[in-house]
């Protein structure tokens, strides 16, 4: 992405971001509440129009991808399934819209542990179940790129461990995994590379170990760059 900005009235949610995300590792997108993480991710997916700049995915804007779910799997903060739809219906519909074989629906339901909940309507899902369904949707097209906005939100301890391992294994398969969080511990646990933003600007774009550097911990390093 190059010089990406987004203003809402007089608020500069994102302010001139330029960075490149590489495959084969988990890249953490770290920043305080309101730092601009979700806004940036929405622009990456063509869901918000940039005030300046652009985002390219393998050289093209998201809107130009054919069968986008087979290229980029995304989890945003919001509940994406229609409340009245059953879990498997939601996934089957997504699969159909992107020419993804129906067999993937069962595969991802199993992968996220929702086999027994697949006939429930989305409105009856707990936060953690909704999160698992959204992760299933992200994995549906077996995409080489994953964008996950706060994926541990609402997950139980077992779910948190599961998503950490999932992200690492997806990266180990050579995929690009971009994950936002405001939780330092999550980042320390999963990310190899870090992009830190504050007030819509990049403060750091480096490996986790280089970011920690001379500091005693990731917390310590984060406080140092924030206060600079």
Ligand X SMILES: Nc1ncnc2c1ncn2[C@@H]1O[C@H](COP(=O)(O)OP(=O)(O)OP(=O)(O)O)[C@@H](O)[C@H]1O
10 vs 103, which CB is nearer to ligand X?
Answer: 10
Residues in contact with Mg ion, counted by CB under 5 A, come to a total of 2
91 vs 197, which CB is nearer to ligand X?
Answer: 197
Give residues 26-85 in contact with ligand X (rule: CB under 6 A).
Answer: 31, 33-39
Q: In the complex, what is the shortest distance from the CB of residue 216 to Mg ion, in angstroms, rounded to a whole number?
A: 28
Query: Which one of residues 11, 52, 96, 115 is an interface residue with ligand X (CB under 6 A)?
Result: 11
Residue 182 binds which of Mg ion, ligand X, none (CB < 5-8 A, kind-dependent): ligand X
CA pair distance 139, 40, nearest whole angstrom: 21
Q: In the complex, what is the shortest distance from the CB of residue 143 to ligand X, in angstroms, rounded to a whole number?
A: 22
Query: Which one of residues 4, 13, 57, 76 is an interface residue with ligand X (CB under 6 A)?
Result: 13
With residue 17 as reference, give the H or E element that holds it. strand 11-17
Backbone angles phi, psi at 216, to 5 degrees: -80, -25
Cβ burial of 81 (10 Å; 0-12, 13-18, 19+) is: buried
34 vs 113, which CB is nearer to ligand X?
Answer: 34
**Which three-class secondary structure state does DSSP give residue 218?**
helix
3 vs 173, which CB is nearer to ligand X?
Answer: 3
Give residues 171-190 in contact with ligand X (rule: CB under 6 A).
Answer: 182
Contact call for residue 38 and Mg ion (CB under 5 A)? yes
Q: Are strands 193-198 and 201-207 parallel, antiparallel or unpaired?
A: antiparallel
In angstroms, the first-to-last Cα distance of the chain is: 25
27 vs 38, which CB is nearer to ligand X?
Answer: 38
Q: Quick count: other Cβ atoms within 10 Å of Cβ 114?
A: 20
Q: Where are the beta strands (DSSP E) in 45-200?
A: 52-54, 72-75, 145-149, 176-181, 193-198
Residues in contact with ligand X by CB under 6 A are: 8, 11, 13, 31, 33-39, 182
User: Which residue ranges make up the site for Mg ion (CB under 5 A)?
Assistant: 37-38
């Amino acid at each position: 992405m190059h010089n990406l900005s987004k203003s809402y009235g007089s608020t500069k949610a994102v302010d001139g971001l330029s960075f490149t995300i590489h495959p084969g590792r988990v890249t953490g997108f770290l920043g305080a509440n309101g730092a601009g993480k979700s806004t940036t991710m929405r622009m990456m997916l063509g869901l918000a129009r940039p005030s300046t700049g652009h985002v390219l995915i393998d050289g093209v804007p998201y809107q130009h991808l054919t069968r986008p779910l087979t290229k980029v799997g995304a989890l945003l903060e919001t509940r994406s399934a229609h409340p009245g739809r059953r879990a498997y219906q939601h996934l089957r519909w997504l699969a159909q819209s992107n020419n993804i074989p129906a067999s993937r629906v069962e595969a991802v339901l199993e992968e996220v542990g929702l086999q027994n909940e697949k006939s429930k309507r989305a409105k009856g899902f707990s936060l953690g179940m909704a999160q698992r369904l959204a992760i299933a949707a992200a994995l549906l097209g077996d995409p080489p790129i994953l964008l996950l906005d706060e994926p541990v939100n609402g997950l139980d301890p077992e779910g948190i461990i599961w998503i950490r391992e999932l992200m690492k294994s997806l990266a180990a398969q050579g995929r690009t995994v971009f994950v936002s969080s405001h939780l330092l511990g999550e980042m320390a646990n999963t990310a190899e590379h870090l992009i830190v933003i504050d007030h819509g600007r990049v403060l750091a774009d480096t490996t986790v170990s280089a970011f920690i550097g001379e500091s005693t911990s990731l917390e310590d390093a984060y406080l140092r760059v924030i206060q600079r």
